[in-house]
Chains A and B, each alone.
Chain A
Amino acid sequence: MMGFSHDEIMELLGAYALDAVDDHERDAIEAHLPECPRCSAEVADHREVAAMLAYSGAPAPEGVWSKIADTLEEPPPELDLAGLTGRRPAPVATDELAQRRDRRDRRPVLLGAAAAALLVVGLVAGAFIGADDATPSDPGELAAASIETLARDALNDPSAKQVSLSSPDDEPISATAAVHSDGSGFLLGTSLPALDARETYQLWGVREGVVVSLGVLGHSPDVVAFHLDPTTEALAITVETAGGVPVSNNPAILVGTVA
């Protein structure tokens, strides 16, 4: 706590909630709050009181909303999907192109709502087994072989949805997935280069604009089983730190629509 005792931190919480502390005190409190539910709750209470002090029935300022609306970003996942499904945007003027290019640079970033992290629990019901985790002559090898067989079967099953994942930046990497109608799916045949062991590939599903983790693929994935909600519209893969993340802020390196 940067030299502050818990009691000292607590004494500052009222002033902190009113933005009335010095920078070094604020830093100490903000380092402390995530690990102290009691202090966090007290700050929340103080802020509720402050909000009531600030209460005003004044109308929203005129003209400001239109400025806000003008600067809102377009939904990233939908724009990604438009390109992948073969729908091409109409020709646009050069400066608009530049604008879109600028947006595209940020578009594949997998931003999710708080709800996305919650949905992960509900959707990640299947097993996620990276074949790179299997070692020779152990049961993992058998499991990997079995998954590979199932994956090949899924690829050849005309009733399964086939998903081709390609690079939005035209990098020469790709992956293929096949998804049965019950939501069980397999990602295989990837040309993904092996990552440093401190990193991992992570698979995401996009449904109604919400991005949900479907599993951590490991640093050198080969064949991976996953499970997704049948209404999932698209798959994406990012590179994350080993262990994966609940919500990604990184760009997708591969994306593909679930046809």
Chain B
Amino acid sequence: MSVDQLEQASDATLVVSIGRYHEDALAEVYRRHAGAVFALSRRLLSDRTLAEEIVQEVFLRLWNDPDRFDPQRGSLRSYLLAQCHGRSVDLIRSESSRRRREEKELTLAAEAGYDLEREVWDLAVGDRVKNALRELPDGEREAILLAYFGGHTYREVADLLDTPEGTVKSRIRAGLKKMRGELTAVGIG
């Protein structure tokens, strides 16, 4: 494919080309999505070097196993970010219990002033995504952010927020559904 064709190709087309060992297709996917993958990983791990390793791993995995991406099940961007998130969370959870305790204490200490707004604004997300998040009930928003950006399981979130586990998992699911509805209604997603 020429440069123009690459730039105009859909993500799904690029993945098919990757399956045919077209390196320039992978380069185009990297150009489109590596920034988001890197930003998410760096946010989760607070470590630039580790985040770069995650980026490398995510794109090599796409190169080696493009069939794992199914365009019928969502966008390439969400697929890559899910890979990045899963791997980053694995790293967070593989660290020593010392760090986990420290993290928990830190979060608990900051609980009253846990700056959800800052968490959101730092993401550089679009206004509509921010609005959709802001409109969620506090409990749903907190649960989603602690799980997604804190790398916590819903059980840990329940502990952190002193809320029953069942309530937390329900809130996460309900909050995500509401956001999906909101965003779809305004033409996103």
Contact = CB atoms under 8 A, between A and B. Distances in A.
A55 B39 CA distance: 8
Contacts of A45: 176-177, 180
B157 A48 contact: no
Contacts of B155: 22
A58 B170 contact: no
A47 B31 CA distance: 21
Interface string B4-30: 000000000001101111010011001
Contacts, number: 195
Q: How large is the interface on B (under 10, 10 to 19, 20 to 34, 35 or more residues)?
A: 35 or more
Given A20-B154, A210-B19, A48 B124 contact: no
Contacts of B56: 64, 67-68
A116 B19 CA distance: 9
Contacts of B176: 14, 17-18, 45-46, 49-50
A40 B185 CA distance: 22
B100 interface: no
A170 interface: no
A15 B169 CA distance: 6
B107 interface: no
Nearest to A33: B73
Contacts of B30: 60, 65, 68
Contact of A15 (B23, B55, B173, B189): B173
Contacts of A72: 23, 26, 60, 63
Given A11-B166, A51-B77, 13 more contacts: A14-B175, A20-B154, A22-B155, A44-B73, A48-B78, A51-B78, A53-B149, A56-B125, A72-B23, A75-B20, A78-B21, A114-B69, A208-B20
Interface of A: 11-15, 17-22, 40-41, 44-61, 63-65, 67-69, 71-76, 78, 111-116, 208-210, 247
* 4 closest cross-chain pairs (CB), A and B: A113-B19, A14-B173, A60-B34, A56-B39
29 contacts: A14-B174, A14-B176, A15-B154, A18-B148, A18-B172, A20-B153, A40-B73, A41-B73, A44-B73, A46-B180, A47-B78, A47-B82, A51-B77, A53-B148, A53-B149, A54-B40, A55-B124, A56-B39, A57-B35, A60-B31, A60-B55, A68-B59, A68-B63, A73-B64, A111-B19, A112-B67, A114-B15, A114-B16, A114-B66
Interface of B: 15-16, 18-21, 23, 26-27, 30-31, 34-36, 38-40, 43, 51-52, 55-56, 59-60, 63-64, 66-67, 69-70, 73-75, 77-79, 81-82, 85-86, 89, 123-126, 129, 133, 144, 147-149, 151-155, 157, 166, 168-170, 172-177, 179-180, 183, 188-189
